[in-house]
Amino acid sequence: MVRLVIFDFWNTLAKNADGRSIEALRRKLCLPKGRLSRTRYWDFMARTSMVHPSGDPKRFFPRFLRTMGLAPSGERLETLCRFYDHIDRRTTYIAGMPAIVRQLKRRGYRLAIISETENSCRSFLDRNPRFASLFDVILLSFEQGMNKRGDGLYRRMASIARRRWGIGPQEIVMIGDSPRHDIAPARKVFGGAIRFRNTRALRQALRRKGIL
Ligand SMILES: [Mg+2]
């Protein structure tokens, strides 16, 4: 029986409209087409600021520019900071997800978040305290000092669940959009995982498993 439901944050509970912004950033930095993709940007973040205790990407932008083959001039750093503030402010819920979370809460499940993130996830949760308070445990990579590359965060959650509520790994299910960073490690460490594609499919999957 499932007793703890864990959510990934980005592209499962919330999203930032970064696609077009990253393309605009590429043009502003005068990088050739294809040089700066979403994958490349977020992969850099995952490896650096997401696991740094400050969680502040601005501290990593000089290094980011150097990996892009650019000298970290004041103007370029300012462009990156403006870009970061822009996408940070535009973080929004994935429609229908707060309702699912509240429903699970009412049904008595323990709820948690495991996220590979810089501090824009924490600032979103701070701006939405009622939503944040629905979760019993929130493990963010930069606060935990590890990212989702490896199953450390998942093992940490399993040990918290065992210690705090006597919940075993088989009673835990993870919901996330990434087959590699959410689904695979969760299947290894917990009882199960549900790949998030959209709210409707998630509702159906939760009903099939008798969770909702
Ligand atoms: Mg995600």
This prediction's pTM: 0.93
If you measure from the C-alpha of residue 8 to the centroid of ligand 1, how many angstroms do you get, rounded to a whole number?
Answer: 6
| Spacing, Cα 54 to ligand 1 middle (Å) | 21
Span from the CA of 143 to the centroid of ligand 1 (angstroms): 17
Going from the Cα of 132 to the center of ligand 1, the distance in angstroms, rounded, reads 17
C-alpha of residue 170 to centroid of ligand 1, in Å? 22
**Residue 49: per-residue pLDDT:** 84
Alpha-carbon span 119 to 111, nearest angstrom: 21
- CA 81 to centroid of ligand 1, rounded, Å: 23
For residue 10, what is the DSSP state?
A: B
pLDDT given for residue 161 in this prediction: 98
Helix (H) or strand (E) holding 91: strand 91-93
In order along its 212 residues, the chain shows pLDDT tens digits of 999 999 999 999 999 877 788 889 999 999 999 899 888 898 888 888 888 888 898 899 999 999 999 999 999 999 999 999 988 888 999 999 999 999 999 999 999 999 999 889 999 999 999 999 999 999 999 999 998 988 999 999 999 999 999 999 999 999 999 999 999 999 999 999 999 999 999 999 999 999 99
Q: Which residues contact 59 (CB under 8 A, 6 or more apart)?
A: 49, 52
The predicted pLDDT at position 52 comes to 87
Structure tokens of 207? 């009903």
What are the tokens at 95?
């429609």
Angle at 35 between CA 34 and CA 37, to 5 degrees: 70
**Fold of domain 4-14+92-208:** Rossmann fold (3.40.50)
Q: DSSP H helical segments within the chain, as ranges?
A: 18-28, 38-47, 61-67, 74-89, 97-106, 120-127, 129-132, 141-144, 152-165, 184-189, 199-208
The pLDDT of residue 75: 96
Q: From the CA of 83, how far away is ligand 1's center (Å)?
A: 20
How far is the centre of ligand 1, averaged over its atoms, from the C-alpha of 179 (Å)? Answer: 9
117 CA from centroid of ligand 1 (Å): 9
Distance 149 CA to ligand 1 centre (A): 13
Ligand 1 centroid to Cα of residue 15, in Å, is 9
Task: Tell me the domain boundaries of the chain.
Answer: 4-14+92-208, 18-89
pLDDT for the residue 21 = 86
Tally Cβ neighbours within 10 Å of residue 42: 17
Q: According to the model, what pLDDT value does residue 45 have?
A: 87
Residue 171 to residues 12, 64, 111, 158, Cα–Cα distance (Å): 21, 40, 12, 10
Question: Which of 104, 106, 88 lies closest to 15 in space, CA to CA?
Answer: 88
Interval between CA 158 and ligand 1 midpoint (Å): 19
pLDDT of residue 43: 87
Burial class of residue 152, CB neighbours in 10 A (0-12, 13-18, 19+): middle
41 alpha carbon to ligand 1 midpoint, in Å?
Answer: 15
